[in-house]
Amino acid sequence: MSFLRVRDLTVTFTRPGQAPVRAVDGVTFDVGSGQSVGIVGESGSGKSVTSLAVMRLLPARNVQVTGSIELGDQDLLALSARQMRDVRGRDVAMIFQDPMTSLNPVLTVGRQLVEVIVRHDGRSVAEARRDAQALLERVGIPDPARRLREYPHQLSGGMRQRVMIAIAVACRPRLLIADEPTTALDVTIQAQILDLLRDLVEESGSALVMITHDLGVVAGLCERVHVMYSGRIVESAPATGLFARPAHPYTDGLLRSIPRIDDEERGMLHTIRGSVRDVVAWEHGCAFQPRCDHAVESCLGGPPPVHDLTGAPGHRVRCPRPVHPATPATGTGRSEGSA
């Protein structure tokens, strides 16, 4: 039984006098206990709105959320705001991209960490301070006693993200959602943070949802990957299957267009034409159709259904004409033209 079950999640932004925008459109996915799941997409794909919807952090005004989000035996969309505050931090916690804007600049690091522990674990402030110091030490912050008394601006970017992670894991949530946690960081610091996340998740048995645009980050961290495009999941698969045999033309194109550090090929890169702006509304057909090399006329005859890939258990794709590269795409087939 999955720990997080998202069913047919749809988020619509309504603006007075303007056409409503459907940022997330019928998204369904599961996260098992202790599982690491990646949600990959470019800007505007709806990946961040999906995570905000799960955390119930979207504004109530002009936003319509339908579908269901179940965490354990709780229906998150049915909870009151008060009940939801108990869930956040205790059962599910989130790590945001930019710790400078998500940490409170006028409170010390210690105060922000102690607050969570006192609120959820019902411990005294003195006990919480001891816990906080141990947590900072665990996330790799040198001299934690001094850092507890400091303010976010006194820390470096990587250090701030470690504090965010410490706050997120303080109450040992069973689900951790990380929305682009390393995008604002340099690669060597990114490697430190990903290593820390990997260790913490393994140690605590928490489930992890990793939201990112970076397929490399997902490859090293996640067991299962969902690829989003224009508000819908277009492909879901175990990480090994997705990277070895991408089925959706979008996933395939994306993987072939990224230069790899271990690739000596210096010719022209494969490209996906157009930009994420060139979309078709899903009710009229496949949103990726205008940029797709495999598109045929029937791609514009209504929303494409999701189907399972034969011979690949758990590999689902929202495309009637999936790609089947002759060789597994491990860098050799990437410089060829599209099939």
Partner 1 sequence: MSLLQVRDLKVHFPIRSGTLFTRQHGSVKAVDGVDLDVPAGTTFGLVGESGCGKSTLARAIMRLVEPTAGSITLDGRDLLGLSERRLRPVRRDFQMVFQDPMASLDPRQNVESLLTEPLRAHRIPGGSVEHARRIRTLLEVVGLPATALERYPHEFSGGQRQRIGIARALVLNPKLVVADEPVSALDVSVQAQVINLLKELQETFSLTYLVIAHDLAVVRHISDTVAVMYLGQIIEQAPATALYRAPTHPYTKALMGAVPVPDPAVEASRTRILLRGDLPSPANPPSGCRFHTRCPWRQATRCADERPALRTLAPGHQVACHFAEEIAAGRIPPSTTAVSSAAAAPAAASSAAEPPS
What is the C-alpha to C-alpha distance for residues 285 and 245, in angstroms, rounded to an integer?
Answer: 24
- The answer to whether 159 contacts partner 1 (rule: CB under 8 A) is yes
Give the residue among 224, 215, 223, 180 at the shortest CA–CA distance from 50.
180
Closest separation between CB of residue 174 and partner 1, Å?
Answer: 24
Is residue 162 a contact partner of residue 196, using CB atoms and an 8 Å limit?
A: yes
Judged by CB, which is closer to partner 1: 10, or 50? 50
Give the residue among 246, 255, 236 at the shortest CA–CA distance from 328.
246
Judged by CB, which is closer to partner 1: 84, or 312? 312
Closest separation between CB of residue 296 and partner 1, Å?
Answer: 21
Q: Is 276 left (phi over 0), alpha (psi -120 to 50) or beta?
A: alpha
Residues 184-243 touching partner 1, rule: CB under 8 A, are 186-192, 194-195, 198, 213-220, 239-240, 243
3-class SS of residue 130 = helix
Give the residue among 6, 23, 7 at the shortest CA–CA distance from 15.
23
Please select the residue that binds partner 1; options are 21, 57, 78, 269, rule is CB under 8 A: 269
- The answer to whether 257 contacts partner 1 (rule: CB under 8 A) is yes
Closest separation between CB of residue 35 and partner 1, Å?
Answer: 15
Give the residue among 206, 202, 232, 308 at the shortest CA–CA distance from 39.
232
**Strand 4-13 to strand 63-71: parallel, antiparallel, or no bridges (unpaired)?**
antiparallel
Closest separation between CB of residue 293 and partner 1, Å?
Answer: 13
- Taking CB under 8 A as the binding criterion, the range among 13-21, 92-100, 112-120, 259-267 that sits at the site for partner 1 is 259-267
- The answer to whether 327 contacts partner 1 (rule: CB under 8 A) is no
Residues of this chain that bind partner 1 (CB under 8 A)? 42-43, 142, 156, 158-159, 186-192, 194-195, 198, 213-220, 239-240, 243-244, 253-255, 257-266, 268-273, 275-277, 291, 330-331
